[in-house]
Amino acid sequence: EPEVTQTPSHQVTQMGQEVILRCVPISNHLYFYWYRQILGQKVEFLVSFYNNEISEKSEIFDDQFSVERPDGSNFTLKIRSTKLEDSAMYFCASSEMGWEASTDTQYFGPGTRLTVL
């Protein structure tokens, strides 16, 4: 069964460093997402991406964050200058995007645990 994959599974970085989290969505999916979960808190939406542009973003997704689909298979989240409060589990998701994206099932990857020291 097709699945969303994410690399690395765990990333440790120093405060102020740039990190890139990578995701390979399911191959025929058209809509891509990033969510994060700070330890002990809710899973929070960061951004959605469709047709090579951001479709929607949350208040969390400020100028230090960016997303890119550099080729036909990868979807990346870049954090330019990491802060301690960026430590979290980051989940990538994708959906097929049928007639209405809000009804589509989103398929999640296993997550990347980012630790900022």
Please enumerate in sequence order all residues whose Cβ is within 8 A of that of 90, keeping only pairs 6 or more positions apart, or say none: 6, 21, 34, 35, 36, 77, 111, 112, 113, 114
Asked if residue 4 binds other proteins (CB under 8 A), the reply is yes
| Binds other proteins (CB under 8 A): choice among 79, 86, 87, 109 | 109
Nearest residue (CB) to other proteins, 3 versus 18: 3
Which one of the spans 13-21, 63-71, 72-80, 98-106 is the region binding other proteins (CB under 8 A)?
98-106
d(CA 114, CA 92): 13
Asked if residue 68 binds other proteins (CB under 8 A), the reply is no
| Binds other proteins (CB under 8 A): choice among 20, 24, 45, 69 | 45
d(CA 34, CA 95): 12
Q: Do residues 112 and 21 touch, judged by C-beta distance below 8 A?
A: yes
Asked if residue 51 binds other proteins (CB under 8 A), the reply is no
28 burial (CB, 10 Å; 0-12 / 13-18 / 19+) is exposed
Nearest residue (CB) to other proteins, 65 versus 104: 104
d(CA 61, CA 52): 17
Asked if residue 95 binds other proteins (CB under 8 A), the reply is yes
Binding residues vs other proteins (CB under 8 A): 3-4, 31, 33, 35, 41-45, 48, 55-56, 58, 91, 93, 95, 101-111
